[in-house]
Amino acid sequence: MAVEQRWADNQIDRLPGLAADLVRRQVAVIVGNGPAVEAARSATTTIPIVFVIGDDPVRYGLVASLNRPDGNLTGLTFFGNRLGAKRVEMLLELVPGARIIAVLIDPNFAASVNELREVEEAGRTIGRKIVAVKAENEREFDGAFTRIVQAGAGALVVSGSPSFTSESRTLVALAARHAIPAIYDVRDYAAAGGLISYSASFTGAYRQAGVYAGRILKGAKPSELPVLQPTAFELVINLKTAKVAGPDAGARRRPHSRRRTGRAHDRRMIRHHHRSGQEPRRNRLCHAKAAAASRHAPTATGAMRKLHDMSLTTTTGGSIPAGG
């Protein structure tokens, strides 16, 4: 078996050509994320396609229903935009003084725009002002952060976007430079030095996408495989960044202080998983060095204790049918 990989280098307009090339090669199955799947769906109605997306595949016309996909597509959905309100809640546990919250969105990514709506609703509920700031690519990041600072934002929600994730280190560095506590959608950011992330397990999702691709290669039809939703969610707090941010970071602007990123941050992270339907368990730390670091980061560990409505475990869950 051969695996062909195609990467558009954050240039969405290249995706149709890449998808057409795979169709010409008569591949047996195509696996991709949201923007890539849109291009693949336009290129073929016969080659099976397995998607991993962050929004409702029914609303976007990818499948007829979650339990009975029909057609040549199936896969996994994070419904990631539905976590926007929860991310705001978690961020405010760490920076309760933030009165204005900025949301960085990718206008070219529909799920990012949808997440903004949920964050705005959460802001109205808790009495926080929400400021939307758009950035289509890396070239617009500096200007976006300038607008965030000018708006007086004390905290930042970085919405989910493949383009943003590919530039995670750049966004984390900008948040650090401007001393803006931020929450992100995937753990890549926390590993790069970002304050906190909350999302379904991307590793688990793509592993399940591989399982579906394998079943299709063995003869299964996409219409026979229900769209899955994750049952495990990862909450990751970078303890070193949390210590620097402090409990009142959202209420004051501090000079930028130099800090290291990379492996040192990764070793000092707390990682917990939330599995739906389980009773809360005692919080545990996944890395030995994180345990030592936690003694010096009361803000982060205190916030973990306050997240009482989540089941926090270190067990990675699987996926279940979306209608199950």
Length of the chain: 324
pLDDT at 204: 84
d(CA 158, CA 194): 11
Mean pLDDT of 282-298: 31
* Contact call for residues 30 and 47 (beta carbons, < 8 A): yes
Q: What is the per-residue pLDDT for 168?
A: 95
Instruction: Please state, in angstroms and as integers, the Cα–Cα distance from residue 54 to each residue in 148, 230, 231, 256, 316, following that order.
Output: 25, 11, 14, 33, 19
Sheet holding 49-53, edge to edge: 30-33, 49-53, 73-77, 228-230, 319-321
Rounded to an integer, the average pLDDT of 21-29 is 94
Q: Is 92 helix (H, G, I), strand (E, B) or coil?
A: helix
- Which pLDDT tens digit goes with each residue over 115-167? 898 899 999 999 999 999 999 999 999 999 999 999 999 999 999 888 899 99
Q: Is the pLDDT assigned to residue 254 strictly greater than 80?
A: no
- pLDDT tens for each residue of 65-111: 999 998 999 999 876 557 888 999 999 998 999 999 999 999 988 77
At 120, phi and psi to the nearest 5?
-65, -40
Query: What's the rounded mean pLDDT across residues 241-252?
Result: 64
176-208 pLDDT per residue, tens:
999 999 999 988 999 999 999 998 888 888 899
Can you list the domains of the chain with their CATH numbers? 12-80+202-230 (3.40.50.2300), 92-200+233-321 (3.40.50.2300)
Closest by CA position to 180, among listed 207, 144, 216 = 144
pLDDT at 115: 85
Burial class (CB in 10 A: 0-12, 13-18, 19+), 26: exposed
